[in-house]
């Protein structure tokens, strides 16, 4: 349990391309939304965290290009600091700044316009320039290596992964912010265009434009606001080796470690029994069972079976990605904070048509960054 709560949040709808807004304008949209949701004004915020990536934006110090839009230059300039990576890392950083005692409130904003750059070139840029980048490998080629390794080690099939796409794209039908929502059949997923074997078109998240923001507040402030605070009960961020060949790609020890630490902080002993809902970073279909297993919800290799049995379905005992997940909308970096927002909306009971049955008292949200989930942030949210 920590002394920090989420008191306001907003996200844009996720779309293939937003020609009507540049990325600063997307930030303005969600900054206003999150402040309004919190019942605060920009002058009430004493700390700002902007999350972005220079390659995606096509400019250096991209995080400083949204100051006007999020209000951090208000009144001659407020304290602002930046993160490059997933939006969940920005949440962690913003929270730590509040816990330092120096700040009471923090606005965390994140944006990405995937439509404006070239995803293949940009994600090739995350690899080292000597050994890996000259091969032309990028995010999806690397993910395909991980999917194959995971299948081979735990005797899984492409059909196992297809069921994840069917579930999540189906869940997205209830989410107006989702970009890809569909009732897919197993045949449709299996017959979709091969991209990088074993991954096919419907195993892969879309390229999206979008932004998200949350307002964090210290307990002393959070309890005085009209809104029900959603508490950050546990959080941890861990990372593993850079070279793909240094890792057993069927394992994610950084996630195991991050989940363990977050559970410890939140006092969770049996995650499957205690956690009511999971929003995790399924950039590719196979990632959902892989991450789910490493979070300790089931044994290794059993995640796909649980999905097939409906355990992670919208109306199952432990809904996973009831929003439709990253498979249905993938504004890079934004997607992790979107998981946090979706989980927090469920705790508030304000998820609208996508609100799951029964109370959500404790939820897990998850963000990743780097090839094949090199780093993971696990956030436990609760009432």
Partner 1 sequence: MSRSAEENIIYDGRIRMPYKWAAGKTSSFFLTQLRDHAKIWGTRCSLCQMIFVPPRKNCPRCVTADTTWVELPPRGILQTYTEIHFSEPLLQPLEPPYMYGVVKLEGADTGLTHFLGEVEPEKLRSGMRMEAVFKKKEDRCGLITDLLYFRPEGGSGS
Is the Cβ of residue 1 or residue 241 nearer to partner 1 in the bound state? 241
Question: Does 138 interact with partner 1 (rule: CB under 8 A)?
Answer: yes
Is the Cβ of residue 111 or residue 149 nearer to partner 1 in the bound state? 149
Question: Does 264 interact with partner 1 (rule: CB under 8 A)?
Answer: no
Is the Cβ of residue 133 or residue 219 nearer to partner 1 in the bound state? 133
- Residue of 311, 249, 320 lying closest to 281 (CA atoms): 320
Let me know: does 147 contact 198? Beta carbons within 8 Å.
yes
> Which DSSP string do the residues of 54-89 spell out, in sequence order?
HHHHTSTTGGGGGHHHHTTTGGG--EEEEE-S-HHH
CB of 209 to partner 1, least distance (A): 13
Cite the DSSP H helix spans in 100-209. Answer: 119-124, 139-154, 158-171, 186-190
Residue 155, both tokens? 């005797």
Question: Does 75 interact with partner 1 (rule: CB under 8 A)?
Answer: no
**How far is 92 from 106, CA to CA, in rounded Å?**
11
Pick from 16, 68, 118, 270 the residue near partner 1 by CB under 8 A. Answer: 118
Pick from 49, 144, 238, 280 the residue near partner 1 by CB under 8 A. Answer: 144
Pick from 100, 183, 193, 220 the residue near partner 1 by CB under 8 A. Answer: 193
Let me know: does 370 contact 288? Beta carbons within 8 Å.
no
CB of 251 to partner 1, least distance (A): 12
- Residue of 339, 104, 109, 337 lying closest to 225 (CA atoms): 104
Residue 93, both tokens? 């950083």
CB of 293 to partner 1, least distance (A): 18
Is the Cβ of residue 197 or residue 299 nearer to partner 1 in the bound state? 197
CB of 84 to partner 1, least distance (A): 17
Pick from 121, 186, 191, 309 the residue near partner 1 by CB under 8 A. Answer: 121
Which range, of 97-105, 113-121, 362-370, 375-383, touches partner 1 by CB under 8 A?
A: 113-121
Question: Does 185 interact with partner 1 (rule: CB under 8 A)?
Answer: no
- Residue of 100, 104, 90 lying closest to 45 (CA atoms): 104
Cite the DSSP H helix spans in 180-311. Answer: 186-190, 219-222, 253-266, 271-274, 287-294, 303-308
Pick from 104, 148, 219, 228 the residue near partner 1 by CB under 8 A. Answer: 148
Taking the alpha carbons at both ends of the chain, their separation in whole angstroms is 11
**Using CB under 8 A as the criterion, which residues of the chain lie in contact with partner 1 when the complex forms?**
19-20, 58, 118, 120-121, 124, 129-132, 134-138, 140-141, 144-149, 152, 193-199, 241, 243-246, 249
């Amino acid at each position: 349990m920590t002394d920090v709560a989420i008191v306001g949040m907003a996200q844009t709808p996720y779309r293939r391309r937003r020609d009507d807004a540049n990325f600063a304008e997307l930030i303005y949209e969600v900054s206003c939304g999150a402040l309004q949701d919190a019942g605060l004004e920009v002058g009430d915020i004493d700390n700002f965290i902007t999350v972005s990536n220079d390659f995606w934006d096509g400019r250096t110090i991209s995080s400083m290009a949204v100051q006007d839009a999020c209000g951090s230059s208000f009144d001659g300039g407020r304290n602002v600091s930046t993160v490059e990576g997933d939006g969940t890392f920005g949440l962690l950083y913003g929270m730590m700044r509040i816990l330092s005692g120096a700040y009471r409130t923090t606005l965390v904003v994140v944006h990405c316009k995937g439509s404006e750059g070239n995803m293949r070139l940009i994600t090739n840029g995350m690899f080292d320039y000597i050994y890996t980048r000259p091969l032309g490998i990028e995010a999806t080629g690397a993910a395909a290596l991980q999917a194959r390794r995971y299948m081979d080690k735990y005797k899984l099939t492409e059909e196992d992964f297809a069921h994840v796409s069917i579930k999540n794209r189906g869940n997205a039908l209830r989410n107006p912010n989702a970009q890809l929502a569909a009732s897919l059949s197993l045949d449709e997923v299996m017959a979709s265009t091969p991209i990088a074997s074993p991954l096919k078109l419907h195993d892969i998240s879309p390229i999206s434009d979008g932004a998200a923001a949350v307002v964090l507040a210290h307990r002393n402030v959070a309890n005085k606001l009209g809104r029900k605070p959603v508490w950050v009960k546990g959080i941890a961020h861990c990372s593993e080796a850079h070279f793909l060949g240094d890792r057993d790609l069927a394992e994610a020890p950084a996630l195991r470690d991050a989940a363990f630490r977050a559970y410890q902080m939140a006092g969770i002993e049996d995650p499957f029994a205690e956690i009511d809902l999971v929003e995790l970073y399924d950039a590719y279909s196979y990632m959902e069972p892989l991450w789910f297993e490493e979070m300790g919800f089931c044994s290794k290799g059993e995640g796909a079976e649980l999905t097939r049995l409906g355990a992670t379905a919208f109306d199952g005992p432990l809904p996973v990605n009831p929003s439709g997940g990253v498979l249905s909308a993938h504004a890079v970096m934004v997607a992790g904070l979107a998981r946090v927002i979706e989980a927090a909306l469920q705790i508030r009971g304000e998820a609208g048509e996508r609100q799951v049955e029964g109370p959500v008292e404790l939820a897990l949200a998850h963000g990743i960054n780097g090839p094949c989930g090199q780093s993971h942030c696990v956030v436990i949210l609760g009432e």
